Structures are given as C-alpha cells and as structure tokens.
Chains A and B, each alone.
Chain A
Amino acid sequence: MNGVKKNLGLIVLLVIICVIAASFGSGFLTAYNAMNLIQRTALFSILGIGAGLVIATGGIDLSIGSIVCLAGIATPWLLVEHGWSPWAAVPAVLAVTALLGVGHGLLVTRLRLQPFLVTLCGLLLYRGVARWMTDDQSQGFRGEFTGLRDIALAKIAIPGIESFRLPATAVPLIVLAVFTGLFLSRTVWGRWLLATGSNESAARHSGIPTARLTTLAYMACAFLAGAGGMLFIFDIGSAQPSDFGNFYELYAIAAAVLGGCSLRGGRVSVVGIILGTAVLQVLRNAIILLGLGSELEFAVIGGVLLIGVSADEVVRRWVPRRG
C-alpha cells in the first residue's frame, strides 16, 4: 500500500519509541495505558487533520487551540449555566466554529491577509472571548450529561480480549480519516484543493475557484477544532478557560508536518498525520513513564520533530528523484 511505503519512516520511529518506553518503563504495555494513548491520539488526530487541510492550501491555522477552548468551554457553559438542550447546544457550537473558519478563509482570500496573521489574531481573540464569557471560571458538567459525555468516554468491547476495550473516539477518527482520504484523492474539490496548494496561480489559470476551496479548508479546520474541543471536554469533564487547549495548534501542526505535509502546500497524508500524532502522544507518555520529568516534554518533542523533519529532508535529497 502506498500509504505504508510513504510513512515507513514514521512507523519505524513509532515502533522505536514504543520499544524504548516498554523496555525501560513499567506501565507502558498495559491495557489501561494503551487505551489512554489511543484516546489521546484519536482526539489530537482530529485537530491534526484539520490543520493538514489548511497546510495543504499553503496556509497555516494558529487558532486551533483557542477554538478548542472556545468550543470546549461553551458546551458545558450553555448546557449547565444556561440550561440549553444538548440538541441545541452541540449544533450551535459547531456552527459557530465553522463560521469562524469561514471568516478566516474570507480574510485570507478576499482581503488577502496573511494566514499567519489572521489566525494569530484568532488565537488571541477566541481565548479572550472564552475567558470573558465565563468570567474565567472553570466550566464542567457537574456529573450530569453522562449520555452526551459517553460519545468520548465509552469503550467498545472487543470479543476475545479481556482487559482492553477500544475507546469510542476511535470511531469518529476512522470515519473522518477515510472520508478525508477519499475527499482528497477521489473528489473534484479535493483534487482542486491540492492543486491550489501546489500552485495557486496555475490553479487559477486552470479555472479552479481557488478562493472558495481555500475558504473551505479553513472552515473544515475550524469545524474540526470545534468538534475536537467538544470531545476533549466530554473526556475530561471540566476545564479552565485560561489554559484549556493551550498549544494544541502546535501539536496539530507538528503532527501534520511529521506526517509529511509540506508547509509550502499541495502535499498532505491523512495516515501520516495520524502516525505523526501517535508519535507525539507516545513520546509524551514515554517521558512521564520513564520519569524524565514533564518539564522536559516540550524540549523532547521539539528535538524529535527537528530530527524527524531533517532526516526526511536528507533522505529526500539522497534518494534519486523518480518520475
């Protein structure tokens, strides 16, 4: 399979980190830890795929973490503080996040502002709004809405295996991954999205509505950040508006880059993004299990990202370019 071949490096890296973590730390190879890892990988992959779509157009979205916070905080806020029904609150929050994405897209395509700038403003703006809206108070479900929270908390039993059950968040991820993969390779819009990222001017000269597709990518990214934020809050139950989702955009972008997306646009791999997310999450997990101290977390992730990207570039130069 093409996906496997392209992502061989990442698979090897993932296996190496797993082997190191398993041989030095106790507790890595437990069903509980595996379930935890799959849960986190699934949640962060949803953000990563959104980031990947924007990166595919040659843009960037720095507002992911703040949208995670806004959506994640607003959901219990509407449900608990304002007594909305889940049937109203969930679609409303998702619609607002999608609209924020459309706003990013329009600012980038119509006003021709730099994506970095637009989404940096988003990063600050949405965080501020989330904190102001809630008086900076922690928001949570207070033990209610367990049915809703089960979307993220349920575990699917696998026949024949006793202690391990698959976290339910794996299901939306798989659906999203398959859908996005097919969208990019099989649909007109998907192919045009990649063409736009590959050479925007050539795309325009070919009659591709580049502005519409770029806007679509920002909308998808913000929507997925909103959906992801909701799943995160279902998972953890309550969160602080001041720190919930901090740096999540960087995990998403790092995963996309590790997974083979070119920041120049035109190249994206859904499988790569999921593997990239898995590498980052296993790494975080390993740091804690090996007792390295969580202070080192960012340093280790930064180092691995740098090595991974450099190794990829070196390999690309040495392997003769084929057709």
Chain B
Amino acid sequence: MPRTVLRACHVSRDYVGVQALDSVSLDVRAGEVLAIVGENGAGKSTLLKILAGVIEPSSGTLQEVDGEGPGHGPERGTDLRLRNTREAREHGIALVHQELNLAENLDVAGSIMLGREPHRLGWMDTAAMRREAAVWLARVGLDVDPTTLCGSLSIARRQQVEFAKALSARARILILDEPTSSLSAHETERLLQIMRELRDAGQAIVFVTHHLNEVLRVADRVVVLRDGCVAGELAGADIKRGRIEELMVGKSFAVPTTRVASAPSVTSDSTRGLTLRRVVSTHRRRAAVDLHVAPGDIVGLAGLVGAGRTELLEAIAGLARCVGEIMLDGSPLMGSVSSRVDAGVAIVPEDRARDGLFLGDPVAVNVSVAWLPRGSRAGIVDRTAEQRMVTMAMERLRMSSAARDRAVQTLSGGNQQKTLFARWLAMKPRLWLLDEPTRGVDIAARHEIHQAIREAAGGGAVVLFASSEMEELEVLADRVVVMHDGSIAGELAGGSIDSASILRLATGGVLA
C-alpha cells in the first residue's frame, strides 16, 4: 500500500461569511494519483490552495507524515504550517496553476529554472541552465528548444513547461489544478501518461479536474467534495462514473451522453447562414478553408492545439486578418470587429480572463457592455432598460441575482463563463463564434451553457464552436469539422461523430 506523505486533518476555511471548506480530512500518498472532484464551489480550489500553501486554513492542520506507513513501522505526523508557496516548495509540494503564470519574456529554460538558476560567481551559467531544462522538457515529452520564448508558445505547451518546472524543483507532491483544461485530446493523453509514469516513480499526485473520463483513466483514489465537505471517497475498482456523479450532486444524475437532436436546418437555401470561400488567415499562411453552415446548425471545430481552429474563428470575427470571402446570410462580413458585432456576430474567446471579461468590474457591467448602443438614445444609456436586460440575461442562464453587483473575478469559472454568454444573449446574434465554450466550467454550468447554445441554434443562429473535448463535440455538434495543420481534414456528421474518427483526422490520418 502506498504510504501517506501529507495529511489534512479537519481542515476548514471560511471567507467573509462563506464556509468554503468544512472539516475536510484526507491523505496524500506517494506513488498514487489522487483526484479531487466536485461541482464548482464545492471547495476544490480552496483545498488545493491550502495543500499548496497559497492560503492557510482557518482551523485544522496539515501534517507531514514520516515513517514507513501501515504495516511497515510507526507512522509519525508532524504538524506543518505553510505560510506561502515557497515554504510549500521547501517541503516538496509544487502547485501547477490553472491560470498559467509564466513570464512571457523569458525563454523556456529561464522559466523552468526561475529562481534556481545555476550560477558561477553571480553570473548565470546559461549553458548549464539549458542542459538541465532540456532534461525536464524531455521528461514531460515537450519537444521545444529551451531558448524558445514562453510568450510564443501555445497555452498547452506553456502548461507542459509549468510541469517541467515543478518536476525540476524536485517536488515529491505535485498538485495540478485542472491540468488538461487547455489541452487537446492528443496532449491530454500524453499528460495522463506522464502522470502515470510519475506515479510509478513514487511521486504523489493530487489533481482537480472536471473531466470524469480522466479520473476514470488515471486516478487511484477519488475524493468527492460537496458544499465544502467530503461527500465520499472511492478507490480502485469502486471508481465508476455514475458513483462519482451521485456523490458530486448528492443524487443520481442522468447525464445525456448522446447527442440531442436539434432543429433541422430552417432552410436549404445556401445563401442563408455562414459561408466561407477560400479563407486563409494571413497571420500564418496555410491552405484555404471552404465551409458552409446553415442557420440552426451547430458545427464543432475539432483538431489538435495549433491546428488553426482559433485562427479561423478569429478571422471570421475580424480579430485576425485574412483573405478570402466570408458571407453571413448573403452579405459579406468584413471590416472591424465592432462592425461585425453590429452585423450580428457574438464572440466567446478561449481565454476568458484575458480576452473576455472585465475582471474587476461587476457582473452587470460585463453583461451589458456590448448591448449598450442598443439601449441608448443619442448615445445616452437608458439605465432602466440596462437593468432589465441584465436581469433577463442572467435569469436565462440561471445565474443568481445576488451575483449581479459582484466583481466577476470573485465568481466561479462556471459563472464567469455564463457572464460571457449573458453578454451576447440579448443581442440575438446570427452567428456565434465560440472558442472552448465550457473550458474550466463545472458540470451543471456546462449543461446550462450547452442548453443556451442549442436554444440559440434553435432560434436560427449559426453556431461555430471549437472544442478540444471529445465529449462536448459528441454531445453538442450536429456536424464536426476536423482541422489539421490549418485546413479542413474531414467532416463527421450525426452518428459518425466519435472520438476515434476525430482523433484519426486530427492527427493527419484518413478514415477507412
């Protein structure tokens, strides 16, 4: 049996009036992957932050456990007070953040060795630094030159750099906060494999995720949190999807795993809807894309990270330059982003904190921002109409009205994403461009967002979404367009949408 290395004993934490974590106890064991799951707001992030020394518990303690473990000798726990992440690192605990925080102006080697640069008489030994970085890059299976600038890497690759950084710090306990939230299916696979290898090498791994299929495939033990308490713990063969979901929501919960049939195309008239003719993003010159999406259709864009999905969405939104012809309902879509928004385009970017939300501003301000010109006369905003619009949009997404005056940054990922959707709902867009529409969002919110997307399509809008999650593509899309290296590798529709076919096309293969 793996031995316990870190123990949380009745750990609680309250934020001004809210009990985020209520007397949670758990063991972290070497050579084991421990998954922590739960709805958003269940206390997962709080628990991780306590384990990693980001925050201290209001009550309860952490213990560092020595000794050989049960059956091998006496187990001795010594109380551990982690006042910051540095102290946690000194005890071999490393956190890999969900929100990546690599300095974009450093190269990969510099980022991995940050704060621990090898030096001679105060001069950095760059060669040694790159040599050591290369070792850790190989360990996480990332094939980039150590001198590459972090800012030029995709989010997925930056995450792998973070990983290498944690490993290089000789961490015994790796804490991963939603490690796969920005990875494509292929990269997720590799990450899970790395997690298994590290576990077999004796590392303790704790990770939080919203993807139960990852839990099923890699976790040795699962702790389910609900409302700040441990709702249950499963190990080995007891780890089953249905059981975990029951514990998460406190009742049995039927997840639709098959695609919900959406309304048939409103019309077969090919001038309606979105038409792309020979569209090439000028940023990275690649093969041209031709695509037609009828009103009422939900089309999923699949592909590996870097396949050009985001570039294509940005080209249609006017955020990136492109050549070729983009037509929406028979008229060309061109000009600035704001003119395209006026023409009925809604944009939900991949990185909501960076490109979507005004984090310090209240929800209401975030929701009404794009709508303002419609609710104004001679440029003066009708504040009553604004209040009404915000209330209605929030109600449609089942957001608590108490949230409207709260700063967006204090909300859970699910509610942040709902805020972004609420912004566009009142605009009645004719074209939705969604990049990873439910990234880092809990199950309940994901269902509601999917429902909102289906309703939008039901109302005759065109929906084009990029997703790296097979499950989401299967559940949401009427048709999946798979991209590979900047062009369309193939299309799947209806019953033929399955992860094996998507993966084959995405990796440059052909369907039999």
Contacts and interface: CB of A to CB of B under 8 A. Distances in A.
Interface of A: 186-189, 191-192, 195, 198-199, 201-209, 266, 320-321, 323
Contacts of B355: 201-202, 204-205
A204 B319 contact: yes
A323 B379 contact: no
B464 to A, nearest CB: 16
B338 interface: yes
B416 to A, nearest CB: 12
B359 A199 contact: yes
A275 B275 CA distance: 56
Interface stretch (B3-11, B131-139, B368-376): B368-376
Interface of B: 16, 317, 319, 336-338, 340-342, 345, 347, 349, 354-362, 365, 369-370, 372-373, 376, 379-381, 383, 405-407, 410, 423
A323 B407 contact: yes
B264 to A, nearest CB: 31
Contact of B379 (A188, A203, A206): A188
Contacts of A204: 319, 337, 355
A195 B358 CA distance: 7
Contact of B360 (A191, A208, A266): A266
Given A207-B337, A321-B410, A323-B410, A202 B405 contact: no
Nearest to A267: B360
A198 B408 CA distance: 13
Contacts of B361: 195, 198, 266
A203 B359 CA distance: 12
Contacts of A189: 379
B360 A206 contact: no
Contacts of A202: 354-358
A198 B355 CA distance: 11
Contact of A188 (B349, B365, B372): B372
Contact of A187 (B336, B360, B376): B376
27 contacts: A186-B383, A187-B376, A189-B379, A191-B369, A195-B358, A195-B369, A198-B358, A199-B359, A202-B354, A202-B356, A202-B357, A204-B319, A204-B337, A204-B355, A205-B317, A205-B319, A205-B349, A205-B355, A206-B341, A206-B369, A206-B370, A207-B337, A207-B340, A207-B341, A207-B347, A266-B360, A323-B406
A130 B341 CA distance: 45
B381 A191 contact: yes
B370 A207 contact: yes
B338 A208 contact: yes
A188 B407 CA distance: 21
B400 to A, nearest CB: 12
B337 A323 contact: no
Nearest to B16: A320
A205 B356 contact: yes
Nearest to A201: B355
Contact of B405 (A188, A266, A323): A323
Contacts of B338: 207-209
B384 to A, nearest CB: 12
Nearest to B375: A188
A204 B373 CA distance: 15
A208 B370 CA distance: 7
Contact of A186 (B349, B373, B380, B423): B380
Nearest to A204: B337
A207 B342 contact: yes
A318 to B, nearest CB: 13
A113 B338 CA distance: 22
B316 to A, nearest CB: 13
Contacts of B360: 198, 266
A208 B73 CA distance: 66
A320 B376 CA distance: 35
A205 B383 contact: no
B182 to A, nearest CB: 17
Given A186-B381, A207-B370, 11 more contacts: A187-B379, A187-B381, A188-B380, A191-B372, A195-B361, A202-B356, A204-B319, A205-B347, A206-B341, A266-B360, A323-B362
Nearest to B404: A323
A144 B347 CA distance: 60
Nearest to B15: A320
Nearest to B423: A206
Contacts of B354: 199, 201-202
A187 B355 CA distance: 23
A68 to B, nearest CB: 30
Contacts of B349: 205
B319 A192 contact: no
B436 to A, nearest CB: 14
Nearest to A191: B372
Contacts of B423: 206
A321 B360 CA distance: 11
Contact of B373 (A188, A198, A323): A188
A207 B339 CA distance: 7
B358 A209 contact: no
A321 B17 CA distance: 12
Nearest to B427: A207
B358 A188 contact: no
A204 B342 CA distance: 13
Most buried by B among A188, A189, A195, A205: A205
Nearest to A262: B360
A226 to B, nearest CB: 24
B128 to A, nearest CB: 36
A208 B340 CA distance: 11
A320 B356 CA distance: 26
A12 to B, nearest CB: 25
B364 to A, nearest CB: 11
A192 B371 CA distance: 11
A266 B362 CA distance: 13
A231 B229 CA distance: 66
A57 to B, nearest CB: 14
Contacts of B319: 204-205
A323 to B, nearest CB: 4
A206 B317 CA distance: 10
A192 B379 CA distance: 11
Given A186-B381, A188-B376, A199-B358, A205 B369 contact: no
Contacts of B359: 199
Nearest to B317: A205
Most buried by B among A189, A195, A202, A207: A207
B401 to A, nearest CB: 13
A188 B381 contact: yes
Contacts of A201: 354-355
A203 B336 CA distance: 13
Contacts of B410: 321, 323
B16 A192 contact: no
A201 B356 CA distance: 7
